[in-house]
Structure 1
Amino acid sequence: MTEQPKRLYLIDGSSYIYRAYFAIRHLSNSKGMATNAVYGFTNMLLKVMREHAPDHLAVVFDARGPSFRKEIYPEYKANRAAMPEDLVPQIPLIKDLVRAFNLPALEFEGYEADDIIATLARKHAAEGMEVTIVSGDKDLMQVISERVRMLDTMKDKVFGLQEVQERFGGSPDKVVEVQALAGDSSDNVPGVPGIGEKTAVKLISQFGTVENLLARLDEVKGKMKDKLQEFGEQALLSKRLVTLRDDLSLGVGYDALATGDPDREALTALFGELEFHKLQQEFFADAGSRDDDYQAVMTEEALNQLIKRLEEASRISFDTETTSLDAMRADLVGISFAVQAGEAWYIPLGHHYLGAPQQLDRDRVLERLRPLLEDPNKPKIAQNAKYDLLVLRRAGIRVQGTDFDTMVASYLANPAAKSHGMDNMAAELLGRRTIPFSEVAGSGRNQISFAEVEVEKAVTYAAEDADVTLQLAQKLAPMLNKSEQEKLFHEVEMPLVAILADMEWQGVRVDPQVLGNLSREMEQKLSALESEIHELAGCTFNIASPKQTGEVLFEKLGLARGKKTKTGWSTNVEVLQKLAEDHAIAARILEHRGISKLKGTYTDALPKLIHPETGRIHTSFNQTVTATGRLSSSDPNLQNIPIRTPEGRRIREAFIPDEGNVLLAADYSQIELRILAHLADEEVLKESFARGEDIHRRTACEIFGVFPEMVSDEQRRQAKTINFGVLYGMGAFSLAKSLGIDRKQAQGFIDAYFERLPRVAEFLEARREEARSNKYVKTLLGRRCAIPEIDSKNPNFRSYAERNATNYPIQGSAADIIKLAMIGVFKRLQAQSLKTRMVLQVHDELVFDVPRAELDEVSALVKHEMENAVELRVPLDVEVGVGANWREAH
């Protein structure tokens, strides 16, 4: 059997650093250090290693300082922009990463990466190796041969002799000749002005080389001959510049290029610093065999022993295993417990597969556990406790006493963390790789339900969850104390966990008939809009296709203001809004898109999400997602139903109360401006709110210098835009764009605003300084909102961070206040044994399903608790509405 030739892969590291940097534009760790290029480069390197498994591999970089080409031609690469500031510190990290994979990171002073690659490729191809150059650089196509190919992993394309022939009209030695004539603007290789690549290919196909071409100029006609006569020496110079050196003495032997096992310890440390937690888990250094004592509870005796241990413990950690990520549809498969690190138990209750062992009766086990789980005085720990509370409630147990949720604790103690999942926290805080779900249940199409996982495998996985959660709680508790988040955690966020679980349990009722009727109306509207758009365009096309829409608008109709992207004409909202000022077709396309999105997201989708058992929709309220502490909702997202469009308001008509009840909606009025008045201690704003004035009218008076009765509707609109623009860090450019005025006028408005409200300007600047000093800002209750990129070298990221520094304290304080209000209202409803249920929280609004007999009492109760959630320097004002559906109530 013939031995297969060894395979050498040579990665053009310098090229891929830039490609990775521009492919992933916004990524940093919690310290604000840019990591986008490192992350992109790592994935590219892993892609090559995993998909091609080369025997030998090297990553090649340009050395610092000028190459020999600079001596030949001082203007070589002179037009290259300076390396982006936030990329500079990532270069050493990338080289450290390559070395941690036990791969050579090669560079050679005075030469470029391409020269090193050419040398290694020619040398080892001559020795019988199959060489693959991993790059997208056309210069390296001159190295291609029978044994050398080029692979562009970004485009997933391979270049061999045939591809060189197709592009350059001959063998790889013609690449240099063509480039000598055509030049290369990216490297500032001059070539011959006016000769592009296609013309160069024709000339070299006819004359073979640049030297032959210049020697036979009498065979060239017209202006081409004149250009070649004038710039012939420049073409020869260009040829020297583009010709790669393949004879360097590198001192890198065959064995040095062999791939080996990565340095897992170095990779673990590096990925930890970069906060690439999934990669960190994948390459965790072998921690040796742990002495974990994980047991399956399969008998009554074992259950008795476990319950005794749980009763004796001062605190217990628990976790559920189920059949679904949707808590309201998940069946309980098992439950695990831990009371001290390294020791945990798993009680399998619902594993069913061929040969599954006999398990304890589920109902009997739960009855035995009920006193412990429902004891409010037995402290309990969980990760994402809300899920477990709902699962166990479906199983008939109302868990009480859950006083530590590790996910919520991480969210407060480490707000800049990219994830608060258990696996990531275990990697970061415990230096531990946890068993991923895919290892026990598979992934993708081959994934099985946890109920089908073998009990033996399930025990280790499930018990580890309870054990690690306990250990994380032990790590996170002092972190909460150090970051001064303990009070917020225990008095706001943890009480809220149970409240959100109750709201998800209650769900909200929707009328599928209303949604169905609205969906049909939208379909008719879309059909009418489609006909109108096609008529305006003079042709039919797929309005849902950005590509076809762009071609119609900018090629067929020739509309101005078009801009091309890599994939075609841009037809995003911003582009269409500009076009809509002058062209009806753009306005209609925008309208079509808006209605189509609402139809797909809500009127068509919501009926399918009605729970088959409850007849209600059970959204998930997310407590650990936003940077400001605001709640979000998902599956479905009920916070994004627009209130300003007719269609959005119609969708709210489908949200209805239980039979005989009404919906009550209570909404904070201008809460963010009230918070600004309080935090900035601005007299003008405080006085205005104290008097119950129209704040936007008052702002218009201040800016435009007119009496209240003289303020026009347009002036009030502009003042409103400015009021909220200030909150969101809006500058003159954005304000001008929003108001449709010139930048100078917008700046004048901003200057006038801050002249009249100087304490606001001081407050905003103080928040920027706070962010620069601490990398976070604080809310009213001391919540830390992370601003890691406030010192970013990238001006766009830094500007975005500065806007967040002024906005987060306001938005975060609003989140604090409504959470306190939810806790206050919930406690009062329980204390007074009312049947009213809080069913939705949307931004600054709470929605309740209220029996008519309780309406007056609940209206007063909700208004009082919301308006007195905190004491501010200005009054909080709550507007309460009641109706037969959400639209009427709002």
Structure 2
Amino acid sequence: MTDQAQRLYLIDGSSYIYRAYYAIRQLSNSKGLATNAVLGFTNMLLKVVREEQPDHLAVIFDAKGPTFRKEIYPEYKANRSAMPEDLRPQIPLIKELVQAFNMPALELAGYEADDIIATLARRFAAEGMAVTVVTGDKDLMQIVDERIRLLDTMKDQVVGLEEVAERFGGTPDKVVEVQALAGDSSDNVPGVPGIGEKTARQLIQDFGSVENLLDNIDQVSGKKRQENLRQFGEQALLSKQLVTLVDDLNLEIDYEQLMISEPNREKLTGLFKELEFHKLLQEFSSDQRASGEGYRLVLTEAELNDMLAALQKAEMVAFDTETTSLDPLRADLVGLSFAIEAEQGWYVPVGHRYLGAPEQLDCQMVLDRLQPLLGDEKRVKVAQNGKYDLLVLRRAGLEVAGLSFDTMLASYLANPAAKSHSLDNLAGDLLGYRTISYSEVCGSGRNRIGFEEVEIEKALTYATEDADITLRLQQKLAPQLVESGQQQLFDEIEMPLLAVLADMEWAGIRIDSEFLNNLSKEMEGKMRTLEEEIHRIAGGPFNVASPKQLGEVLFERLDLPRGKKTKTGWSTDVEVLTKLAEEHDIAARILEYRSLAKLKSTYCDALPRLVHPDTGRIHTSFNQAVTATGRLSSSEPNLQNIPIRTEEGRRIREAFVPAEGNLLLAADYSQVELRILAHMADEPALKESFAQGEDIHTRTASEIFGVFLELVTPEMRRSAKTINFGVLYGMSAFGLAKSLGIGRKEAQEYIDSYFARYPKVLEFMEAKKEEGRQQGYVNTLFGRRCSVAEINSRNGAVRGYAERNAINYPIQGTAADIIKIAMVAISRRLQQEKLQTRMVLQVHDELVFDVPEGELDAVRSLVRKEMEGAASLSVPLLVDVGTGRNWREAH
């Protein structure tokens, strides 16, 4: 192939659809429409365009209905499983996207995509074009020549004459000969029994063609092979007919029609919005962009006065900050933007530093002038992800009050099924507006600069647009909160909580770095000992941390029962090793080694590096708009996942300590989700048990196993506990059997017995699934909407997952709401009573406080009262409170 030739790329669209479908699993939009194949296909298509930059291109699909091959041989492809139900509705969308990209999409009734590809490739190669067929299908190797090659973009492999010869032992015309003898199980091409691809290669090298081979069967070695060739010779000729591609179809399309042209951005915008492909929408959107005409730069004190006068008159002010870091407690202020009406706004630069940067107003003077406005509780303020701005400005010395609307949180409540609540995505979805991306002003990769280095004129449009769009989004989202019944939740829980979380992040928590360093060394010693034991059992050294080497040792050297295989070798994931560990000591040791390695790297080694240099504390970020249930998550570092059930996990909690002279107080809701279940299901037996203060797992065991409470064994209680919590997550008999290590039949009997004793629980579960099916969401006791959009999916696995969530989300979401209500109430009381105690952590159903010893009794009483009174249920809420010199002692 010459570099000078015009280049034509023919994409095997039908092959791409299936590869895309299996490459990305279980993706859907907020309406529950499966989108995994569409996204995978689009990304694969764009990869070809971006990396190969073809002059001409076509995407070829299989047409609906039978092909001529089916008429020749009715069993052709008869062994293929039916198309997945959730893939079927994606195919029209894929074809619509190809057309929106202004790429020719071709198909022809009675023929396969490969036939169209062969015809076009041969025709245009003969006219001097360089043709690349984008496919992973070996059948197309038969058309390879000096001007036609194959490209598999998923494997980054190019197939030319040399690769065909290596695979099939000859020139491309021999491909059909080899396939005719070997057959093809994927297409149900019969071939000749007893002849595989390797043997077929040799026979064709010896005889040249199937016909010549059948004319000279006597010269073939092996009586059995001769018999098969005589008996199935006609079948081989039929197979040759089936695998030979038609390359002379009458296709009325000329080369110019295959030229790459500009995509139809308007069509793409509509499709990407419907599919909720936000990254692609940002790239291809036809939405309006900022003109910047109404945006004003504030560089003088007179301009600042004018801006402040306008802000003082406004009913509502949207504001945003530009900084040097994503970490608000390490970020320096670069500028502030404000908006009070659409397409109007101001940008006040205070920290741009680059050669030739104009003189800017003094940062402290600007903050002092802004304090009366931003610190006024009565003046309504709007922000996007306002917690970040509150912390940035607090660090700069300005306390913000009166933040009453956060557009990110409003979207999170009003549109719980949305995949993202970022400003860019909200602008596209709700306003039909394409924002300027951060990379457009700061660059990306190695060329990225800090915002302080961005030219002020460039920063003006980007920064002011943020405030402008935030204001416009507030006007769109405020009615949505009312319409969706989320207004009260927003006003009374989420917005007050934002300020509480800002205080918690500001306070941080102290850790004992020396303790963690010593624990890290201790774990390293245990890991060395375990490694030696593993090597001894394995019969020699190897890299225990390498999954590939580990797989070879376990399943080849030791010949242990083999599990699933991956692209890189044998799977050695937790599931595989846990199963092996039941009988093989080496697997148990490896699991222990991995657990220690993870704890060591994730906590012992990482946490000391995250201590803030100025405060000497760790400041995790509490994420308020992430989870489907309303639960808070934490990041950088994630403190939600420190294990509590293992000794090593509990040791790590010892490193979390209070301020000098203080104690930590930990308050944890007792079995809150089971209590919520009892209330929501209105199950008398469960409610009675909680009302009497019984151990719920013992009571359940007594009910299921039909024994007196006094006769419940620890084993029975353990099983009952697994069932109690399993019900919350819609656990099947299969899951319970696996969890308890019992037979499936026995597990089903346990579940049947559970529902016989607690029939209202079953009614509740079925009611929640139906609620999800009807609405696409389920509600918590406080009205929070939790999306289960995929509950009507045609894919059974996806549907089952959504059904389990429909049961669990109302319970887990209600628990999240309750602890949030408690956090807001406790914070308010601490401030009202002018206590020095600080709330420092929230982990699932637990709150942790840093408490001066003199306040301990008052805070213990205050916390218990507010947590237990956070909701009025038909069963009592109970809180366990502990104190100690570290988190482990307090828990």
TM score, norm. by length of structure 2: 0.99
Structure 2 match to 1:457 = 458
Shift of 1:292: 4.4
Write the mapping of 1:850-861 to structure 2, written as runs, cut at 5 A: 850-861=851-862
2:700 is aligned to: 699
What amino acid sits opposite 1:94 in the alignment? Answer: I
TM-superposed CA distance for 1:197, in Å, is: 1.0
- Kept in 1, the 8 Å contact 2:9–2:131? The answer is yes
Aligned residue for 1:226? 227
1:793 equivalent in structure 2? 794
Q: C-alpha distance in 1, partners of 2:288/2:652? A: 55
Equivalent residue for 1:736? 737
Query: 2:343 & 2:876 partners in 1: Cα distance?
Result: 52
Query: Corresponding residue for 1:402?
Result: 403
The amino acid that maps onto 1:332 is L
Question: Runs of at least 4 residues of structure 1 off by over 3 A?
Answer: 286-292
Instruction: Please list, as runs of the form range in 1=range in 2, the aligned pairs for 1:115-194 lying within 5 A after superposition.
Output: 115-194=115-194
Match in the other structure for 1:531: 532
Q: Determine the structure 1 residue equivalent to 2:49.
A: 49
Task: Give 1:287 deviation, angstroms.
Answer: 3.4
Post-superposition Cα deviations, 1:458-486, rounded to whole Å, max 9, x if no partner, equal: 11100000001111111111111111000
Q: Distance in 1 between matches of 2:559 and 2:4?
A: 58
2:290·2:435 contact (CA, 8 Å) conserved in 1? no
Deviates more, 1:483-492 or 1:254-263: 254-263
Q: How many residues align?
A: 889
Please name the residue that 2:363 is paired with: 362
Cα displacement (A) at 1:230: 1.3
1:621 match: secondary structure: strand
Q: How big is each residue's C-alpha offset from its partner over 1:276-304, in whole Å with a ceiling of 9 and x where there is no partner? A: 01111211116377474111111111100
Q: In the aligned structure 2, how far is the partner of 1:742 from the partner of 1:625?
A: 38
Q: Distance in 1 between matches of 2:557 and 2:129?
A: 53
SS where residue 63 of structure 1 aligns?
Answer: coil
1:566 CA displacement: 2.8
Give the whole-Å Cα distance in 2 for the aligned partners of 1:802 and 1:41. Answer: 28
Q: Is the aligned partner of 1:14 residue 2:14?
A: yes
Whether the 8 Å contact between 1:179 and 1:242 is mirrored in structure 2 is yes
Letter in 2 for 1:718: S
Report the residue type matching 2:811 in the other structure. Answer: I
Whole-Å Cα distance in 1 between the matches of residues 411 and 161 of structure 2? 55
- SS of 2:498's partner is helix
Deviation at 1:418, TM superposition (A): 0.6
CA distance in 1 between counterparts of 2:343 and 2:605 reads 49
Distance 1:750 1:49 in 2: 54
Write out per-residue CA displacement over residues 655-684 of structure 1, whole angstroms, 9 at most, x where no aligned residue.
000011000000000000000011111111
Report what 1:339 is aligned to. 340
Instruction: State the Cα distance separating 1:561 from its structure 2 match.
Output: 4.7
- Aligned residue number for residue 753 of structure 1: 754
What is the CA-CA distance between 1:431 and the residue it aligns to? 0.9
Counterpart for residue 433 of structure 1: 434
1:100: which partner in 2? Answer: 100
Q: Do the aligned partners of 1:317 and 1:466 also contact (CA within 8 Å) in 2?
A: yes
Partners of 1:561 and 1:492 in 2: how far apart? 51
1:810 maps onto 2:807 in alignment:
no
Aligned to 1:821: 822
CA–CA separation in structure 1 for the residues paired with 2:138 and 2:329: 56
Matches of 1:859 and 1:586 in 2, distance apart? 45
Spell out the pairing of 1:143-542 with structure 2 (5 A cutoff): 143-222=143-222, 223-285=224-286, 287=288, 290=291, 292-542=293-543
Q: Letter of the aligned partner of 2:875 in structure 1?
A: V
Task: Tell me the equivalent position of 2:580.
Answer: 579
For residue 29 of structure 1, what is the aligned residue in structure 2? Answer: 29
Give the secondary-structure state (helix, strand or coil) at the position aligned to 1:839. strand
Secondary structure of the 2:57 match is strand
The Cα offsets for residues 222-272 of structure 1, whole Å up to 9 and x where unpaired, read as 122222111111111111100000100011122211111111100000111
Provide the secondary structure at the position in 1 that maps to 2:631: coil
**Pair 1:591 & 2:587 matched:** no
Separation in structure 1 between the aligned mates of residue 476 and residue 504 of structure 2, nearest angstrom: 30
Q: Report the CA distance shift for 1:476/1:797 in structure 2 as closer, same or farther (over 3 A).
A: same
Aligned partners of 2:410 and 2:481 also within 8 Å: yes
Matched letter for residue 415 of structure 1: P
Q: Report the Cα distance in structure 2 between the residues aligned to 1:221 and 1:840, rounded to whole angstroms.
A: 78
Distance 2:84 2:433 in 1: 35
Give the TM-score normalised by the residue count of structure 1: 0.99
Structure 1 unmatched ranges of 5 or more: none
Q: Report Cα offsets for 1:578-632 as digits up to 9, x if no partner.
A: 1111111111110000010000000000000000000000000000111000000
**Structure 1, residues 191-223: CA drift from partner, whole Å, max 9, x if none?**
111111111111111111111111122211212
Give the partner amino acid of 2:719: Q
Q: Secondary structure at the match of 2:790?
A: coil
Q: Which amino acid aligns with 2:435?
A: T
Q: CA deviation at 1:565?
A: 2.5
State the alpha-carbon separation in 2 of the partners of residues 188 and 292 from structure 1: 65
**3-state SS of paired residue (2:792):** coil
CA distance in 2, matches of 1:165, 1:686: 75
Q: How many angstroms apart in 1 are the aligned matches of 2:40 and 2:289?
A: 31
**Displacement of 1:444 after TM fit?**
1.2
What is the identity, as a one-letter code, of the residue corresponding to 2:643? P
Matched with 1:63 is 63
Match of 1:674 in 2: 675
- What CA distance in whole angstroms lies between the structure 1 residues aligned with 2:282 and 2:266? 11
Shift of 1:371: 0.6
Counterpart Cα distance in 1 of 2:729 and 2:617: 36
User: How much does 1:562 deviate?
Assistant: 2.6
Report if the CA contact (8 A) 1:179-1:191 is conserved: yes
Give the C-alpha shift of residue 557 in structure 1: 1.0
**Counterpart residue type for residue 111 of structure 1:** Y
Name the SS of the counterpart of 1:790 in structure 2: helix
Cα distance in structure 2, aligned partners of 1:288 and 1:813: 41
Answer yes or no: is the 8 Å Cα contact 2:786–2:809 preserved in 1.
Answer: yes
Structure 1 residue 4 displacement after superposition? 2.6
In 2: Cα distance, 1:719 partner to 1:543 partner: 37
Alpha-carbon contact 2:733-2:748 (below 8 Å) kept: yes
SS at structure 2 position matched to 1:360: coil
Letter in 2 for 1:671: V
- Is contact 1:336-1:346 (8 Å) kept? yes
Question: How far 1:763 moved relative to its partner?
Answer: 0.7
Give the Cα–Cα distance (whole angstroms) in 2 for the partners of residues 555 and 4 of structure 1: 51
User: Is contact 1:791-1:798 (8 Å) kept?
Assistant: yes
Q: Secondary structure at the match of 1:869?
A: coil
1:351-397: per-residue Cα shift (whole Å, max 9, x none)? 00111111011100010001111111111100000000000000001
CA contact (8 A) 2:290 2:465 kept: no
Equivalent residue letter for 1:470: L
Q: Is this contact kept in 2: 1:561–1:579, CA < 8 A? A: no
Could you tell me how far apart the structure 1 residues matched to 2:537 and 2:507 are?
49
> Per-residue deviation at 1:104?
1.0
SS of equivalent to 1:329: coil
Alpha-carbon distance in structure 2 between the residues aligned to 1:87 and 1:697:
47
Give CA-to-partner distance per residue, 1:509-537, whole Å, 9 cap, x none. Answer: 00101101101100001011111111111
Retained in 2: the 8 A contact 1:281–1:432?
A: no
- Cα 1:689–1:306 shift into 2, 3 Å: same
1-side partners of 2:533 and 2:162: how far apart? 50
Give yes or no for contact 1:671–1:814 (8 Å, CA) kept in 2. yes
Distance 2:572 2:148 in 1: 42
